[in-house]
Structure 1
Amino acid sequence: MPTAPTNPARTYYVPKGGLPPQSQLITGRAMFTEAFAIIPRGVLSDIVTSALPFWQGTRFWVLARPMSGFSETFSQYIVEIELGGGSDRPETDANAEGAIFIVEGQVSIRLEGTEHKMEEGGFCYLPAGSDWSIRATGDTGCAFHWIRKRYQSVSGLDTPDAFFANEHDIAPTPMPQTDGAWATTRFMDPTDLRHDMHVTIVTLQPGAVIPFDETHVMEHGLYVLQGKGVYHLNQQWVEVEAGDFMWLRAFCPQACYAGGPEPFRYLLYKDVNRHAQLP
């Protein structure tokens, strides 16, 4: 029998919209509980897209938004831009920091007057109050994830600097005692306490596991970029695959194992490095 390649290429699942046929059964995998939500890729149809002011040739799938009593720190969108589309005023909240991760096509981001060209695997961090604009370039349109968070400033700490990177240029950090089966690609420096959020890519090789129910204060958004796995969420087992989104509130127990012949990879958001806000 043929064997799977030892180093399969990184891929990035991108929703294409449309609508399911009238013959499709209604039963699906979407879930919303008191501790977590699952938004399967099949939910990302045309009728659930949003539009936002000052964007042209663009539509948004809103995966997460702050909700009282659930997950309260961030919003996350999948953004699809037609060729030539974009925005000269993308962010209307001066207190919102942003992170962008490109999953299809090419974009040009102009930040404080300097142009930065990005392609698949590209990442950028945009501090709160940044002056930036974005356009789809190349031969086709583009798609990317946009994570937004109200920045929590701390007296005595400067605001983080903007930066641009690509995951292909960052060596994944293996988790201790896993022999590389579980690794994390870190975009933010974990020792830089100016940052109040981290965005990473977690990679589990086929058969690898997170072998205990993590239960912690960080909220999560997890978008599956590649492969498939099985998650243990608050005592429920849930199968997920490329294109699915998991939205976990603080302290939701979580563990998983990777299934299938290719790596299980997901884009991960979490809030970090700040005291809990007290009422």
Structure 2
Amino acid sequence: MIPASFDYVRPESLEEACRVLGEAADSGDDVKVLAGGQSLLPLLRLRLAYPSTLVDLGRLPGLRGVEDRGDHVFVGALTTHDEVLRSAVIRERAPLLALATATVADPAVRHRGTLGGSLAHADPAGDLPAVALALGCVLVARSGDGEREIPAADFFVDYLETALGPGEVLTGVKVPVLGAGWGFHYEKFHRSAQAWAIVGVAAAVRRSDGVVEEARIGLTNMGPAPVRARAVEEALRGVEVTSPGPGLGPGPGSGPGSGGGPGGAADPVAEACARADEDTSPPADLHARPDYRRHLARVLTRRAIRSAIG
């Protein structure tokens, strides 16, 4: 289909972009921001979005690149998924972001789509919002009134809705660097490489002396916004995972749908992950019913946790 008509603005500076967005907000115009366009353009073609003004950020300087800042990695909002994947800093200092980004669509999309665009689009079926939530990322926004930082827990408000104000531009993401003892994994179930996740699980687990000390789990497509699997995180704390077997190894009796370890022994990891769908509200669509998504959340969380543990 052909998009509805709109005014097109391509600012040359961040200050100009903030001014244009602020003026549009004051006049009541419906404005959309274009970054890589891999999420927005399909909505325009299908007329699921029909803004009066489209603000293209493609020429803005200083919003692209990866910088190691010690306790966190700063990623510019216009950094493409491909640039994230090719960054040695990301692979070494923020591996969960690299793992999830590698599953985003296909190479063509990854060369155009941006990290900031994916987060600002806030599709609950997107891979990266759940990662930002699990890692506790901080999103940096700029407006005519200055700069502010928004924790990921407060950024994703509802379906395709964020905490960004009408005159704000997402300029970058602070990705916390987690230290020694952390393991990471992103597990995703989808119909094809190009399809959105039916369910995805971003897992980060810290263990010491064979015991889980902390777990952070973000779920994709289990509600109108990404959600933390808090019940699983609490249940995993203190679980012993010293060797394959109960609590870690797959073994007989610990396959999908089972809570037992080898020989029928209790598997605390499986028992914890059986709570993955608590406090979620998975959608129903052409690809899956809510009960199927709940089942997937439990199974994929167990796989992600076991892979993160090692």
Give your verdict on TM over 0.5: no
Q: TM-score, normalization: structure 1? A: 0.25
Q: TM-score, normalization: structure 2? A: 0.23
Q: More helix per residue: 1 or 2? A: 2
- Look at both structures and tell me which one has the larger radius of gyration over its CA atoms: 2
Which of 1 and 2 has higher RCO (CA within 8 Å, sep 6+)? 1
